[in-house]
Structure 1
């Protein structure tokens, strides 16, 4: 929700940064893979207990994730394939980041397992909505707004890194929010399908 509500306010800054990357002839696909690599590095930092490095790497990965799409739009290189690759690698960063916590703080394993389950459910409803609904936005596919988006996820991961004694309640609360997001979208998709019968 933060992404959707606040993106327009920060987009001019992202545009300036993206223009610098365009001048360096860095492709959107390269930025997407770099975001994945930096996000994976954040997981290794978390597993090793270097939480400040982990948080900084995580947010850098998030920034790069914003810039790949911005560069694609500035250079006219947007594509459905790029959008899907971006979405999948985003989820992989989140999954790998949780693996780092699983190694470092195994006492919250139940919350981690539930995270994977609700993310699969939520992401599936997101992809189905993206495939079904007409795209009226600037992205390469329909982007269905949710309560829990990327920024909320990174805020939760940051809280987990800073407050390891509270990982279980923090992540369980977020799991409930992700589940709620998926249920709302699931109902919208079902309603749409019924209207098309």
Structure 2
């Protein structure tokens, strides 16, 4: 919901750093995998009760996720890079609720519901992208991407805000998780309504 509005603010500094990194030989894929390693490390830290360390690693993951795109824009994006980026993103997103489920068994049911909602949101996002590509449609709302990024109520920015809330208020994991899962499901309905309007010939 807020990602497209944040892009004009965050892209210029990221692009400057990305250009500098590309000049010294850093690749976008290297940053993607390094970011994934940090994100999964954050999930492990959370699972073992190290919430502050986990939060730092989560934020570092997001920084590298922004920088891999900036380096890709500097070098020229590739389809393989786009594939790795989206797979790494969803692997990271799923790992954090799972980590909180390991942290406290009382969180398990809410964590499962949230992961299921992430799967539904991801499927709707990717299905929309595939059909949009078949129709030759493009959008720059989320910056230059290797495939079509459809806007939704629950996007990356909202997800990270929720993960930060989990780390800062772990006792409130269950209600926050259920609330965000509901927003993810609403996003699926919203994206489906958009598909009906956009893909009905």
The TM-score bracket by the shorter chain reads: over 0.9
The answer for the alignment partner of 1:88 in structure 2 is: 87
**Contact 2:121/2:187 (CA < 8 Å) preserved in 1?**
yes
Number of aligned pairs?
A: 194
The answer for the alignment partner of 1:115 in structure 2 is: 114
Q: How does 1:136-155 map to 2 (within 5 A)?
A: 136-137=139-140, 138-155=144-161
CA distance in 1, matches of 2:52, 2:189: 34
Q: How does 1:108-187 map to 2 (within 5 A)?
A: 108-133=107-132, 134-137=137-140, 138-187=144-193
TM-score of the superposition, structure 2-length normalised? 0.91
- Which SS does the other structure have where 2:150 is aligned? coil
CA distance in 2, matches of 1:151, 1:188: 21
Deviations 1:31-66 (A, max 9, x none): 110111000000011012111111111011011111
TM-score of the superposition, structure 1-length normalised? 0.93
Q: Which runs of 5+ in 1 are unaligned?
A: none
The answer for the alignment partner of 1:189 in structure 2 is: 195
CA distance in 2, matches of 1:156, 1:110: 17
Q: Which ranges of 4 or more aligned residues in structure 1 deviate by more than 4 Å? A: none
CA distance in 1, matches of 2:3, 2:36: 19
Q: Which runs of 5+ in 2 are unaligned?
A: none
The answer for the alignment partner of 1:55 in structure 2 is: 55
